[in-house]
Amino acid sequence: MKKAFFTFMLFTITGVLSFAQTRPTKQEIVNWIIEKVRLYSEYKLIESNNTKVATFFSIDANQNIEQHITGKGFTMIGTEKLEDICSAELDELNRIKIQFKQPIVITQLETGGKVTSGIAILYLNESKENNLRNRMIKALNDLGSYNCPKAKEVY
């Protein structure tokens, strides 16, 4: 009887666990984001205030995110860590907008001047993988749930 009960419980637990959704680990999410950004991040030429600007997003070996902004006569770089990402969404221009724990400090290389920005914009070449933009937003938000956990409200 004990053997039959043990066998029944083993099959029940195995069946329940096989249907359970497993959440990717933080490191699995980080690895996926790094891979996709390195493969598919692209330069984008945009016009802002009648000035043409090229922007590019990269991740270095130390998992620092760098937002490069280059225009006529200036280059700016903002650096932040992957562990400081809190959320991501599509903005009104259909770009990936990434929110961090605190504003990003962007340094103008020629003058050393600094400005802050609350977001970084990521452009991806989506011609190589289906639904890459939405999958990236999901991955960034999953990472944000590890980095910036929401306080549990009692009511």
pLDDT at 47: 81
Q: Residue 43 has what pLDDT?
A: 86
- All structural domains of the chain with their residue ranges: 25-147
Average pLDDT by stretches of 10, the chain with 155 residues: 57 54 90 95 83 87 90 88 94 91 89 89 89 95 93 76
CA–centroid distance for 136 within its chain: 6
pLDDT of amino acid 41: 92
Return the pLDDT at 4: 57
Beta bridge partners of 66: 58, 79
- How far, in Å, CA of 57 to CA of 120, rounded? 8
Question: What pTM, to 2 d.p., does this model score?
Answer: 0.79
